[in-house]
Chains A and B, each alone.
Chain A
Amino acid sequence: MSDAKATPGPTQGAMIELQAVHKWYGDFHVLRDINLQVQKGEKVVVCGPSGSGKSTMIRCVNRLEEHQQGRIVVAGIELNADMKNIEAIRREVGMVFQQFNLFPHLTVLQNLTLAPIWVRKLPKKEAEETARYYLERVRIPDQADKYPGQLSGGQQQRVAIARSLCMKPEIMLFDEPTSALAPEMIKEVLDVMIGLAEDGMTMVCVTHEMGFARTVADMMVFMDRGEVIERAPPKDFFANPKNERTRTFLSQILTH
């Protein structure tokens, strides 16, 4: 195992690099030979049928899942079993989950300041200022003292996005951020994500929101059965998908 430095490397070039990544759940081959590069500021949207390994793939980027073969480098840090490297990568990578995963025993403000205070070692006051700034940005400044259980799903997901942003990450991962939301709340979350994209955040989103993908993505990635089947800029991807499986998938989700 190589002994990479636990400090972020030069900010030029690939923010995320996956080389020949494989993963198995028992005998089941969930990720097969994944190769992916995400440049700084690039927005990548990953789509594909359920069980295709897209969530597993982005969860490998911050080691919520462990890959068994291949190489992953994030923000210049090699991802290996070294806990120091893993924690260094997690400081630079924000993640938004399908189920929000807010901490129900803490207020919204405490959810936002927890990691900056304990991980970044910011003074409480500074962390709270940052938190209020991001609450403003996700348009719920007046909910700071409520508990997550008192908010709607859309509000909770926006708090979750703000919570990640408070760590000032280089990269944001979104794992089906709107799949658990009632239809009328999807837009408010997507709007926040679009705003984030406009600010130049490096983003990898697993989502079925193809309207969002068209607006925001620099690159579409289609996965099926653990493999990357096709990658293309959204214009080409939607206008003339090359692979048969991509065409089938797109026809299923675009005409439902």
Chain B
Amino acid sequence: MADIAQDIPVVRQAPPPRSTRALGWLRVHLFSSVFNSILTLLAVGLLAAAVPPLVRWALIDAIWSAPNGQACHAGGACWAFIGEKMRFILFGRYPADQEWRPIAVVAIFIAMIAAACVRPLWGRRLAVVWFAGLSAAFLLMAGGLPGLRPVETGLWSGLPLTLILAVIAMLFGFPLGVLLALGRRSRLPAVRGICVGYIELVRGVPLITVLFMASLMLPLFLPAGVTIDKVLRAQVAFILFAAAYLAEVVRGGLQAIPKGQIEAADALGLSYLQRTRLIVLPQALAMVIPPLVNTFIGMFKDTSLVLIVSLFDLLGATEFALTDSNWQGFAVEADVFIAAIYWSFCFFMSRYSQLLEREFNRGKQR
């Protein structure tokens, strides 16, 4: 950061030297009082108790290859199980000979997410990239083109299904949530009533019941012969759910915009839409990045609830893999493995949001 004060000719004193000796550091940071010393010792004791057994289980005693489950129960973690079932956990019931297709879809999603993180790309170009990417991903998964065997959505599973459900729920739920938030603050009573009613209704119902209703009850109301795809039904439930939660987050940001901002925009002759798009939303959304990303992370993990309507997302495929009678009793290894996958996506979102926050707040520093 450029220091404005640099070119002012003022005599400056260097700060007094800080104690850099190890002992001094220890005293200040770990043993500054009796109570803090006790806390430090407790923490050290806890680590000493937990870390060595964990390392022994996960690494030293771990079994990395085994012909079957029986041979794998001897020592620590059985990573051989993960090696054996990796393909199934990641891609589930998708036809094995077509495995390159879900792999390509995961690659496309990761590439699209990466592109979305590059701020100079934001705008029309990114929209085009995403539209093309989503179309390509859909064609690859569903097939039906010459050379691509059709694969029904009931077989879509594992990581691609998790990514599809989560990313599309965010992609469509976010704009819908912004509209709901704006509608909730509308001056028109009808618009406001509908938005409040929708948000309160959806927020007040467990996601599981919405998924159940979408997959079990909805078909009862549809005329005979009309069916809606199972994945699509779950997807719509996620979008509607995400929208209600995101709407409340966005509303928090909208309420924090000072009245003067709106007056200044009005006084310059901006219309409601221009004012909302150019002045209100950019500031409101920048303000709510932390809770927004919090909601996104929650939504990402909530996609695992499709397990109960017999869709095999990452968690569902893992549960299915655990039923193999040749490989019994490796639930912990499997859970650690998919937890690591969920964690890497969520950790990435968390770090990226911190970066965005810093960038948006750049202008506000004095």
- Determine if B260 and A103 form an interchain contact, defined as CB atoms under 8 angstroms apart: no
- Determine if A97 and B263 form an interchain contact, defined as CB atoms under 8 angstroms apart: yes
- Determine if A114 and B268 form an interchain contact, defined as CB atoms under 8 angstroms apart: yes
- Determine if A150 and B264 form an interchain contact, defined as CB atoms under 8 angstroms apart: no
- Closest Cβ of chain A to B283, distance in Å, is 5
- Determine if A150 and B286 form an interchain contact, defined as CB atoms under 8 angstroms apart: no
- Closest Cβ of chain A to B362, distance in Å, is 7
Max chain B C-beta neighbours (<10 A), residue from A94, A118, A167: A118
B286 CB contacts on chain A under 8 angstroms: 105
For the residues of B in contact with A, the DSSP-based class is helix
B270 CB contacts on chain A under 8 angstroms: 114-115, 118-119
- Determine if B278 and A118 form an interchain contact, defined as CB atoms under 8 angstroms apart: yes
- Determine if A150 and B365 form an interchain contact, defined as CB atoms under 8 angstroms apart: yes
- Contact partner of A64 among B266, B363, B364, CB < 8 A? B266
Kindly state whether residue B187 has any CB partner on chain A within 8 Å: no
B271 CB contacts on chain A under 8 angstroms: 87
- Closest Cβ of chain A to B335, distance in Å, is 43
| A149-B366, A150-B363, A150-B365 known; A103 vs B269 contact (CB < 8 Å) | no
Instruction: Give the number of A-B contacts (CB < 8 Å).
Output: 72
Kindly state whether residue A216 has any CB partner on chain B within 8 Å: no
* Distance A114 CA – B274 CA, assembled complex (angstroms): 10
A90 CB contacts on chain B under 8 angstroms: 266-269
B278 CB contacts on chain A under 8 angstroms: 114, 118
What are 24 A-B contacts defined by CB distance under 8 Å? Answer: A62-B266, A64-B266, A87-B269, A90-B269, A93-B267, A97-B263, A97-B264, A101-B258, A101-B260, A101-B264, A102-B264, A103-B261, A103-B264, A104-B283, A105-B282, A114-B270, A115-B270, A118-B270, A119-B274, A149-B365, A150-B363, A150-B365, A164-B267, A167-B268
Chain A minimum-CB-distance residue to B275: A118
How many residues of B are counted as interface, with CB atoms below 8 angstroms from the partner's CB atoms? 24
Lowest 5 A-B CB distances belong to which pairs? A147-B363, A101-B264, A115-B268, A90-B269, A101-B260
Chain A minimum-CB-distance residue to B261: A101
Kindly state whether residue A107 has any CB partner on chain B within 8 Å: yes
Kindly state whether residue B142 has any CB partner on chain A within 8 Å: no
- Contact partner of B267 among A64, A102, A105, A148, CB < 8 A? A64
Extra contacts besides A119-B269, A149-B365, A167-B269 (13): CB < 8 Å: A64-B266, A87-B269, A90-B269, A101-B258, A103-B283, A105-B286, A106-B363, A114-B270, A115-B269, A118-B274, A119-B268, A119-B274, A147-B363
* Distance A114 CA – B265 CA, assembled complex (angstroms): 10
- Closest Cβ of chain B to A49, distance in Å, is 23
- Closest Cβ of chain B to A126, distance in Å, is 17
* Distance A52 CA – B121 CA, assembled complex (angstroms): 52
- Closest Cβ of chain B to A1, distance in Å, is 19
Kindly state whether residue B138 has any CB partner on chain A within 8 Å: no
Interface residues of A (CB under 8 A from B): 62-64, 87, 90-91, 93-95, 97, 99, 101-107, 114-115, 118-119, 147-150, 163-164, 167
B263 CB contacts on chain A under 8 angstroms: 64, 97, 101
Kindly state whether residue B279 has any CB partner on chain A within 8 Å: yes
- Determine if A95 and B283 form an interchain contact, defined as CB atoms under 8 angstroms apart: no
* Distance A87 CA – B365 CA, assembled complex (angstroms): 34
- Determine if B269 and A107 form an interchain contact, defined as CB atoms under 8 angstroms apart: no
- Determine if B268 and A104 form an interchain contact, defined as CB atoms under 8 angstroms apart: no
- Closest Cβ of chain A to B272, distance in Å, is 9
* Distance A104 CA – B256 CA, assembled complex (angstroms): 14
Task: Tell me the residues in window 226-277 of chain B with beta carbons closer than 8 Å to chain A beta carbons.
Answer: 258, 260-261, 263-271, 274
A118 CB contacts on chain B under 8 angstroms: 270, 274, 278
Kindly state whether residue B352 has any CB partner on chain A within 8 Å: no
- Determine if B269 and A150 form an interchain contact, defined as CB atoms under 8 angstroms apart: no
Kindly state whether residue B360 has any CB partner on chain A within 8 Å: yes
| A87-B271, A101-B261, A103-B261 known; A149 vs B266 contact (CB < 8 Å) | no
- Determine if A105 and B365 form an interchain contact, defined as CB atoms under 8 angstroms apart: no
Max chain B C-beta neighbours (<10 A), residue from A90, A97, A103, A167: A103
* Distance A101 CA – B279 CA, assembled complex (angstroms): 11
- Determine if B360 and A105 form an interchain contact, defined as CB atoms under 8 angstroms apart: yes
Chain A minimum-CB-distance residue to B279: A103
Interface readout for B74-89 with A: 1 if CB under 8 Å, 0 if not? 0000000000000000
- Closest Cβ of chain B to A92, distance in Å, is 9
A87 CB contacts on chain B under 8 angstroms: 269, 271
B260 CB contacts on chain A under 8 angstroms: 97, 99, 101
